[in-house]
Amino acid sequence: MSKVPSEDRIGRRLRFRDLQVFFAVAQSGSMAKAAAQLGVTQPSVSEIIAGLEHMFEVRLFDRSPRGVEPTSYGGALLKRSIAVFDELKQGIRTIEFLADPKVGELRIGCAESVAAAILPPIIQRFSQQYPRVSVQVELLVTPTLELPELHDRSLDAVLARIVRPLASESDDLNVEVLFHDELVVAAGLQSSWDCRRKIDLAELVNEPWILTPPNSWNHKILTEAFQARGLEMPRACLTTFSINLRANLLAMDRFVTTFPSSVLRFNANRFSVKVLPVDLPVRPWPIAIVTLKNRTLSPVVQLFVDHVRAFTTSMGAEAASEKKLA
């Protein structure tokens, strides 16, 4: 292959429609499927792809009877195309915001335990102030700091529980810690443990426990607590991540489980459960808002991020005041 043509030469010849066709082919893995999606003929799609390959003087796709797959050159162009389309969408959002600052949309990802804790009051207050902003929430299963949903621009921000040292953060993610959560032991209000002012962990060994899976932060902290007392981990009657399932079972019977403290801060009365006075190891469990570096956030998304900061700051101040009074 000859040397790739200059940036000016490509820039004068490259059309936005060419990138749209290229993106559709890469996403669908087929010239025919891309043509159907775009409402054009397959020969026209093939012609545009051939024109792009001629322009760049590299092969962008490998062809086979099963379809097409981006080459390393095609993969590089695909990654940048995603950013181009995203920046254009963000530009449209910004123009819409400038025309009407109270209209827009944002897409948030979070774990179920965050959705059951701080997210409802945050969205409630945000929606009261900006009732014409559409908020989309996607539940993520034990999100990690790779967060592909941010890299492919399908989400604007993620409220994540960080379960590993911050030193291992991805270089292309902004991770802003909002507050530190803690693990608590809980039981239903009808439980015989409800009236106790102090409970030793050894007393709970033979209770019917609902545990989270062994790879979870909840499970690790609880295991550490039992090991520190020279006790074996209790047998699980049920293993689940589900907040609602655990809460419903606690309200119905004498089960014991653990929750993030923030979940019960906002839901203890609704769930009919109570935090038990059990000492557990204090371990940092940061809750963070994560965004993609070098990505321009729309004004509406930035408003939401600012709103989250303000809410969690006030929440921390209230918690500190409650501890002083306790």
Share of the chain above pLDDT 90, in %: 48
Is 70 exceeded by the pLDDT of residue 216? yes
Q: Which homologous superfamily does the CATH classification assign to the domain defined by 183-275?
A: Periplasmic binding protein-like II (3.40.190.10)
Domain boundaries, the chain: 7-83, 100-181+285-325, 183-275
Residue 287: its pLDDT value, please? 92
> Do 100-181+285-325 and 183-275 fold alike per CATH?
yes
Structure tokens at 2: 């000859």
**If one looks up domain 7-83 in CATH, what number appears?**
1.10.10.10
Q: What is the pLDDT of residues 109-121, one digit of tens each?
A: 998 889 999 999 9
Q: Which homologous superfamily does the CATH classification assign to the domain defined by 100-181+285-325?
A: Periplasmic binding protein-like II (3.40.190.10)
Is 50 exceeded by the pLDDT of residue 269? yes
Residue 213: its pLDDT value, please? 92
The predicted model gives 289-299 an average pLDDT of 86
Residue 168: its pLDDT value, please? 43
Handedness of CA 257, 263, 266, 267 (dihedral sign): negative
Is 60 exceeded by the pLDDT of residue 5? no
Is 60 exceeded by the pLDDT of residue 143? no
The predicted model gives 193-215 an average pLDDT of 90
The predicted model gives 213-232 an average pLDDT of 91
Is 50 exceeded by the pLDDT of residue 303? yes
Burial (CB count <10 Å: 0-12, 13-18, 19+), residue 274 = buried
Q: Which of 12-26, 29-43, 132-146, 293-307 has the highest mean pLDDT?
A: 29-43
The predicted model gives 4-11 an average pLDDT of 59
The predicted model gives 63-88 an average pLDDT of 87
Is 60 exceeded by the pLDDT of residue 165? no
The predicted model gives 228-257 an average pLDDT of 93
Residue 192: its pLDDT value, please? 85
Q: What is the pLDDT of residues 275-286, one digit of tens each?
A: 999 998 888 789
Is 60 exceeded by the pLDDT of residue 271? yes
Residue 297: its pLDDT value, please? 82
Is 60 exceeded by the pLDDT of residue 66? yes
Residue 147: its pLDDT value, please? 83
Residue 326: its pLDDT value, please? 55
Distance (Å, whole) CA 272 – CA 252: 9
DSSP 33-62: HHHHHHTS-HHHHHHHHHHHHHHHTS--EE
Residue 193: its pLDDT value, please? 84
Residue 62 Cα to chain centre, angstroms: 34
Residue 146: its pLDDT value, please? 74
Is 90 exceeded by the pLDDT of residue 10? no
165 CB-near residues (< 8 Å, 6+ apart): none
Is 60 exceeded by the pLDDT of residue 4? no
The secondary element (H helix, E strand) that includes residue 211 is strand 209-211
Distance (Å, whole) CA 323 – CA 307: 25
- pLDDT classification of 59: cutoffs 50, 70, 90: very high
Is 50 exceeded by the pLDDT of residue 166? no
Share of the chain above pLDDT 70, in %: 90
